[in-house]
Structure 1
Amino acid sequence: MAMIETRESVGERLKSGALGFLSGGVIGAALGCFVAGCILESWRLCVVGVGLFLFNMAAWAVRGRLQEARDVRAPARLALAVIESRRALGSDTADIPVEFELTVAPDERTAYRVKMRQDLNLVDIPDYRPRGVVVVEYRPDDLWDVKLVTEPTEEWARRASVETVDSAPVSAMVEAPRGDGAFCLLVLLGLLVGAGIVVLLFRAELADELGDSSTKTTSSSSSSSTYSETKVTSGVSTGTTVSGTASSDSMLAEGELRRLVGSLVSGMRTGNAATITIDDHGISMQGVLGAPADPGAVIDVNALPLERLPGLVRIAQTKLGIAEPNSWRITFEPVAGSAPGSGAVVIRVTVTGAEGKASLEADTEGRITKRNPR
């Protein structure tokens, strides 16, 4: 039976495996945070993912430095060895790799067997015949690390020519420690566990976002927009107002609100509105034609942050205490006392469920300014 020499004890192996699992978990969590942040459009979550990854790399770098400082290898030593067998491997160059099986006989320990490979020039191979005694260099900490000394000192050359070395039994074979596949398996397991934890923590948000994405692809062909125009006497304009409506199967799909509002503005020939309301059924807008009598009471539809409205609706549906909202509604109110033409509005998002109503307010840029939870 071959004897495998290793400097790593069972305790060290267990410690290495635990660190591998922990490191894999951190990397998995980092990847999970980064991917979830991209899906949810949360830059903070992306930053957390990148930070976890960099922290893991820094921790391994520090551990490697400490290990190097602690693990000082003993210097190489010389010893006599007898060639048990040799086998030349193929090569297209003058240096040919040769595989040797040696019995190494150090002066300070018992002899042992080892297999090694070294490149030799073609003309030097006859000098290394089986049962010949040679000088080798070995490391006491890593007995399998053996090299032939092709140009020994005069003293060692004399010893190799006059001394004999007895063969060590095959059971004294020393081999380099094989790669630990269990470590890689633990790292992979930790990676899966870390990523799974992140997915579980954000499963609700991811389900909503992915559900919205599927709605975008399936409903784009069935979405439609219409408008109707009715001239009425207007209290805020010198001329008339027009009323328009638009509907879609997926009001919160990406770009759908902008498309529907653009269709209304184009059909009604105005981007100024006295009122505009958006809910889960459609958009209703009362446009102002001509010069308004009170510019501060007019909403500039083209300046509204329509791309941020779906996110505001999702926050209202999940963060205001309504467990199962069944409807939502968005209204816009010009900010009292704002300068005419500034476009400043208060966006109010209201959700309704079995518990009642809850709402939030946002500014012209779509930033939440007030929450009215249930």
Structure 2
Amino acid sequence: MVRPIPSYGDEALDALAGMVRDFGLKEIRPRFRELEDAGEFPRDLYLRMGELGLFSCCFPSEESPEAGYRALAVVAEQLAYVYPPISAPMNLQAATVPLTIANWGTPEQVGAYVPGLTAGRFLGCNAMTEPDGGSDLLGAMRTRAERDGGDYLITGAKMWITNANVADLAVVYAKTDPAAGHRGVSAFLVPMDAAGIAVDRVPCRVLGKLMPTNMITFDRVRVPASALLGAAGDGFKVAMSAMDFGRLTVAARSLGLAQACLDSAVEYAGEREAFGQKIGGFQMIKKQIADMTCEVAAARKLVWDAAVKYDEGTIPTRESSIAKYYAAEICNRAAQACAEIHGGYAFSDELPISVYLNYAKLWQTGEGSANIQAVLIADDALGWKPMDRHRRPSFAGRAG
């Protein structure tokens, strides 16, 4: 069921949401089963989204001078509403990779990579997580970058790296000074065709074939010192800013998916009959729909609050973490309720309900697991570790 798009209170953003929804309903949703069955990475869709300017939200231009993080949230929400896997590039192509390069890179690095990423011509990946690291991304990091004359040699492995098998470029985090703890982590821009890189797909049948995840192995991969993103030892700060961008985007994607679950549940409950009446008339189902409606509305406010603060020129670590945590939690509840309301039809390939369930769980983990987010939020509330202790102004409110 396709219900009206909620107004964002801004004529330009409402028009953007309508354009993205229309694109998705015409060019993505009718093809979702065909795309999954083909099992090929939909590079044509990435190019098409780049042509439409969907990846350029945070990069103002003459054509879109009012672009910003609210636009990023709108596009991410609407793509996730249409079909969850197709919203993945809003992290990699529009946020974590290009924004990180724009905010930490040299003019040469920005010029070499950002336009291609936002146009969909280059594909990026964010190589941070390791096989044994889990949520202890930086403390347990084993990947090393050793200085060798004017170059660095990178050795190690990264795990759960989305799109690594098709990417042209990776932002790679490695320890350049293992004795310095998190201050010894550095970030590098590494071409994925560099000698010594091997990529192996990680089978994840429940996620389908449109958002591939991978393991990357680095065997003495040589990169010049000019590949450093920021200065040596800046990796922790680079990673934290990338996570901030990513959490806003995952929060918006979770919101879009939760809205899709709600709309599907409302449509089905209003049509399906059992025991002589529409199932929407049963109190249990009314309660589920009421809870979903309220939680989606609350999540929308949190996502919007974080996006507005970005556009005002602050990187809102606290607000993006809260938005990501809550939106992912209510997305899981919405997906579960949607499946319960659909009953056996939730498992039919004719409907994307099972896809909703799997991606809702994925987004509860991505960009910082629910448990880690809860710890961060609680420590902040207790005053033990304020999340804004690393707060810094953004480089220009928006990258540009």
TM-score (norm 2): 0.17
Higher RCO structure, 1 or 2 (CA under 8 Å, sep 6+): 2
Structure number with higher strand proportion: 1
TM-score (norm 1): 0.17
Structure number with higher helix proportion: 2
